[in-house]
Structure formats: C-alpha cells, structure tokens
A and B are shown apart, each in its own frame.
Chain A
Amino acid sequence: SAVISQKPSRDICQRGTSLTIQCQVDSQVTMMFWYRQQPGQSLTLIATANQGSEATYESGFVIDKFPISRPNLTFSTLTVSNMSPEDSSIYLCSARGGQGNTGELFFGEGSRLTVL
C-alpha cells in the first residue's frame, strides 16, 4: 500500500487567486493522479501526473487552469489557477501502489477548497 499526504487539508480562497496543493507519497510510485470531487458528486479525473514530462489532462481540463508538477517519484503538486466559486471542490491526489499501471489506487485525505 501507499500512504499519501496532502496539504493543505482545507482552505478558503478569494476569487481570482491561485492555490497550490501538495501531495507526498511515502514510497516511489510510477503513476500519480489528481481527481476532483464536487459537492455531492463522485470523483472525476483531472489529469495524470507524469514524472519528467508534462501531465496528461482529461477532457474538460486544461493546463492553464490546473498546472501540475511531478519533480520526482514521490511528490506532485496541483495548482488551481484564477479560482472562481465553481472551483469549490475536494481535490484528491492518488497513486498506484508499486510500479506499472495495475493494482490498487490509493488516495490522500483530500484538500477541500472553498472559493468566495
């Protein structure tokens, strides 16, 4: 298994500002992902954080809005840029235990953002 730490755990932000969420995994992992969970909704994948290259974004999500860094095999950041109230969500970092693209996906506790 993988233990994933996220910070901040929650924040209240002003419209138009940007916030960076950090994700730290306790072991080296090949694949890291960022999900969004809007109030009362299930999880939607934002992007795959690739180590050493640009993130791969899902349909409806763009790099200018959600820039992602993955400097090494245990750490990633997600920035939510130019925030609006519609960005109020829980943002979840996840990692696949071990190497490769099979096996269980583990999640951090999430970062709850409220945009005023």
Chain B
Amino acid sequence: EDQVTQSPEALRLQEGESSSLNCSYTVSGLRGLFWYRQDPGKGPEFLFTLYSAGEEKEKERLKATLTKKESFLHITAPKPEDSATYLCAVPYNQGGKLIFGQGTELSVKP
C-alpha cells in the first residue's frame, strides 16, 4: 500500500537554528515527490517537485533532496516567517492523484 510518513510531527527552532524535516515514502514507481507549505487557514502552497534520487532543489532558505526511500527538507538559518506546516505528497496510481503525509508543524521563535 502506498504510504507517506513525515517526521517529526512538530519542530520548534530558534531563529537561525538550521534543521531538517523528513518524508519517507512507500510507492511502487515514484512519479515525483511534492513539498508544500501550509499556513493556518490557507490552502497548501507549492514549493518543490523532485523526480529522481539525487535531485536537489532550493528556494531561499529551503533545500529539498530526494533518495530512493525518503526526502528531506533542509531549512537553513530559519526566520519566524518560515513557521508553517510543511507537507509532502506523492502521486499514486496513474490518475495523477496525490497522497499526503501528516505534515510537520514548524515553529521558529525569534
């Protein structure tokens, strides 16, 4: 069964304290891994898509990496405005649908 697991569930950082979020997946034939950011009361905002092991993408203080079993979202020198829930998702079956992990709630304190 296709599955996506994120850890930790919640992460509290001080401003400037770098860390990583994990997304492990079990799917037959990966057709991409997606990272989203979701602020309270808002819809998910697309961040990255990764398609093959070894691929990396960066956006400001965020860098996403992908292996054959998991993806990491590295946050370098975070700021309070990076506080949000970060979701990862993978497509399942051929219909282009996404299955989402439970998310990591990130809180960055000044």
Binding site for B on A (CB under 8 A): 1, 4, 31, 33, 41-45, 48, 56, 92, 96, 100-110, 112
B46 contacts which of A42, A44, A105, A109 (Cβ < 8 Å)?
A105
Q: Knowing that A43-B87, A107-B44 touch, tell me 10 more A-B residue pairs with CB under 8 angstroms.
A: A43-B100, A101-B94, A102-B91, A105-B34, A105-B46, A105-B89, A107-B36, A109-B42, A110-B41, A110-B43
Q: A104-B46, A105-B46, A112-B41 are in contact. Are A42 and B100 (CB under 8 A)?
A: yes
**Interface residues of B, count at CB 8 A:** 24
Q: How far is the CB of B93 from chain A (nearest CB, A)?
A: 10
Are A45 and B97 in contact, CB atoms less than 8 angstroms apart? yes
CB <8 Å contact, A109 and B34: no
Could you say which residues of chain B place their CB within 8 Å of the CB of A44?
A: 100
The answer to whether B96 and A92 touch across the interface, beta carbons within 8 angstroms, is no
Contact of A42 among B31, B45, B91, B101 (CB under 8 A): B101
Contacting pair B96 A31 (CB below 8 A):
yes
Q: Looking at the complex, which one of A1, A4, A33, A41 makes contact with B97 (CB distance below 8 Å)?
A: A33
B49 partner residues in chain A, CB cutoff 8 A: 103-104
Query: How far, in angstroms, from A1 to B49 measured CA to CA in the complex?
Result: 13
Q: A42-B87, A112-B41 are in contact. Are A106 and B98 (CB under 8 A)?
A: no
A31 vs B102: C-alpha distance when bound (angstroms): 24
Instruction: List the 8 closest pairs (A to B, CB-CB), nearest first.
Output: A101-B96, A107-B43, A43-B100, A42-B100, A42-B102, A110-B43, A109-B43, A107-B44
Chain B residues lying within 8 Å of A96, measured Cβ to Cβ, are 96
Is B78 an interface residue when CB atoms closer than 8 A count as contact?
no
Chain A residues with CB under 8 Å of B29's CB are: none
- Chain B residues, CB < 8 A from A56: 95
What residues of A have a CB within 8 angstroms of the CB of B87 in the complex?
42-43
